[in-house]
Amino acid sequence: MIDDLTVRGLIAQYERFEWRLHHVLMTPETQSALYASFKELFGNVEVIESDINAIWFSRPAQNGRLAFELRALGNTPFALVDSSEPDANDIDLQNLFRRVEGKMRERLSHQH
């Protein structure tokens, strides 16, 4: 199970490299386990109930685009990266998120 110290350390690691917490995906079980620490861990960032545990981060990319990284939370941590135009609309971003989350689900299913 993921604990608040692990999540706190992960967020701090990304912040050192200028990544910004964008939103969080968590299973109901993980949400329950971390509920007491939510405000401290995530502030006002949206936490979405999901079938995977992962955190979305964002930062400006060197090519003028906006980089997004989806970092899995679990025993075998890994991340997937994609990018969008800096002025991408909500529909385009939602499509990006769904596409990358689908890839992560696929990878996680191969690990089990």
**pLDDT digit string (tens) for 13-72?**
999 999 999 999 999 999 999 989 989 999 999 999 999 999 999 999 988 999 999 999
Tell me which H or E stretch contains 31.
helix 28-34
pLDDT of residue 109: 85
pLDDT of residue 112: 56
pLDDT of residue 29: 95
What mean pLDDT comes out for the span 80-107? 95
Quick one: which of 10, 88, 93 has its CA closest to 54? 10
